[in-house]
Amino acid sequence: MKITLWTACLLSSVAAYPSVQERQTEDHSWRAPSATDRRAPCPMLNTLANHGYLPRNGADISMDILVAGLKAGVNLGADATKLVGATALKGSTTGNASTFHLTDLNKHGLIEHDGSLSRADIFSGDNHSFNATIWASTASHFTSPTISLATAAKARKARLAAAQAANPQFNMSDGDKQASMIETALYLNVMSNETGVTAVTAWVQKLFTQERLPIEEGWKRPKGEIGVPTILGLVGLIGVAGI
């Protein structure tokens, strides 16, 4: 139902603003964010901003900019981007309800949730910055050159259990748990070596620790567009393998 609705919206909003076109022709080399550039709790959105597929300053992102950036950067389909982008816009603090800053995504309970793979829970103060200690606990499961779906599911399950044990205010709704599975499905798929289900460990490390597309390490933009059915199929498999 929701998907049908968003597909309809997609068909009625194909206009490309000059800023989107400019961005697609610009330099996509990696550059670290400046002190004033805004970043999100999502390693992929931060990565795309660091490569200029999203505004490098992380500010004033419209749905058109978001869809174009995810498509050009990692071949995520408009259907998938619009589903999560609609929620992102609900946290807008830009003064324009049609745009958001990457920092707007730090708002707990919007998309941001407890039990992240690489971020602390809001209980411990910082809900959005990369946390090397937490990432190390997740990555301790990644002992091979590749990450299978079963390994990713196990790492996610262990991280949720550790967060719950450490946080007296741990609170993940069913929707949060679904979002967390989607996030695992996304990194597995985008960072897979053409299989779509088995990720390359070194690439996943670069995504999380440097917020960089691992092009130098051999990663290529996925050839096929990643759509909602692909992601939900993976989520189902992660559920069977983990939880």
Ligand X SMILES: *[C@@H]1O[C@H](CO)[C@@H](O)[C@H](O)[C@H]1NC(C)=O
- The dihedral through the CA atoms of 214, 68, 101, 185 has a sign that is negative
Q: What x-and-dash track marks residues 41-70 binding ligand X by CB under 6 A?
A: ---------------------x--------
189 near ligand X, judged by CB under 6 A: no
CA distance 34 to 56: 9
154 near ligand X, judged by CB under 6 A: no
Contact 189, 196 (CB under 8 A): yes
Of 7 and 98, nearer to ligand X (C-beta) is: 98
CA distance 16 to 217: 33
Q: How many Cβ atoms are within 10 Å of 97's Cβ, its own excluded? A: 9
- Member of 46, 47, 127, 192 binding ligand X (CB under 6 A): 127
Of 32 and 125, nearer to ligand X (C-beta) is: 125
Of 124 and 205, nearer to ligand X (C-beta) is: 124
Strand (E) or helix (H) holding 136: helix 132-139
Of 96 and 140, nearer to ligand X (C-beta) is: 96
Least CB distance to ligand X at residue 60 (A): 7
Contact 208, 43 (CB under 8 A): yes
Least CB distance to ligand HEM at residue 81 (A): 5
